[in-house]
Amino acid sequence: MTNHVFAKNPILLIGGGVGPMAGVELHKKIIENTRTEGSDQDHFNLIHLSFSSLIEDRTKYVLGESSNNPGSAMAEIVRRAALGFVEQGDDSQNPIVLGIPCNTFHAPVIWGSFIESLGSLRERVQILHMLHESLSLLRDRVPKAKKIGLLSTTGTRESGLWYNLLESSAYEVLQVNERNQELVHEAIYHRQWGLKAQSPASPRAVERLQAITRELIAVGAEAIILGCTELPLALPQASFDGVPLVDPVLALARAMISRADAKKLL
């Protein structure tokens, strides 16, 4: 088959491996939120890239513990995949729609390197920003909310990524205290029982994150953003103790479907 055959339909591109299960969850949610007539052929063409060994941990880079920018590595992986489906000089092709399911990857120091490293390819690929899509989902689901709780990795917290976005959008941001931040980060990264180490989520990680979520609710959170793409593995429900949970992976999945073909969004 030629590139011309592939160009007839949109291609969804997942920049995965950051972490690996987050990419799987994005792929799963795309399937679950796509309208079909009941056949395999009704689903989107999709490329799921997962080259974890080539992409530095995002938190390590943000905290200055590594000099290898994950953004440039991801750009090279995406470039190699996308170029196989892009015909140079053919502007009639349907879009390649790209999403990267990692909150910390969207820190400006990483995201900026990624966009720059894509070079001219960024003119041919529609790149969605997961945090912006999550903010849209928050507004749609909880339009009257003003106090937003935030759970994230330490890297995302230190970057101010979510805090700055929410504050500039007129929200009051409720973050956990420093001790609880250490506990949240450990629940994600622990090599034996953390969310990156076990699937499904270990009871220890689930219990810890549920307890800290309750503390955010107790101080007035009207919605809580799960600001690490592994957190929904422990908190998969749409709400917790009556408070809406915003899952950025779900927001990204729905945005990718809508951008590719809005009629196919459930």
Domain CATH for 243: 3.40.50.1860
Residue with the two structure tokens 């270990």: 202
Same domain for 190 and 107? no
Same domain for 105 and 138? no
Give kind and range of the element (H or E) at residue 113. Answer: helix 108-118
Same domain for 91 and 101? yes
What amino acid occupies position 208? R
C-alpha span between 251 and 95 (Å, rounded): 19
pLDDT of residue 5: 55
CA torsion sign, 136 to 8 to 95 to 17?
positive
Provide φ and ψ at 199, rounded to 5°. Answer: -145, 125
Enumerate residue ranges in the chain where pLDDT < 50. 1-2
Same domain for 116 and 137? no
Q: Residue 157 is part of which domain span? A: 131-248
C-alpha span between 29 and 169 (Å, rounded): 27
Read off the pTM. 0.94
Same domain for 202 and 234? yes
Please tell me the total count of domains within the chain. 2
Same domain for 260 and 244? no
C-alpha span between 124 and 191 (Å, rounded): 39
Same domain for 190 and 204? yes
Same domain for 76 and 104? yes
Same domain for 138 and 233? yes
Same domain for 103 and 215? no
pLDDT of residue 9: 84
Same domain for 71 and 185? no
pLDDT of residue 76: 98
pLDDT of residue 172: 98
pLDDT of residue 189: 96
Burial of residue 104 (CB within 10 Å: 0-12, 13-18, 19+) is buried
List Cα–Cα distances, 110 to 45, 161, 230, 241, in angstroms: 27, 11, 19, 35
Could you give the maximum distance between any two Cα atoms of the chain, in Å? 58
C-alpha span between 47 and 100 (Å, rounded): 12
CA torsion sign, 148 to 150 to 251 to 94?
positive
pLDDT of residue 83: 86
Same domain for 124 and 202? no
pLDDT of residue 1: 47
C-alpha span between 24 and 7 (Å, rounded): 25
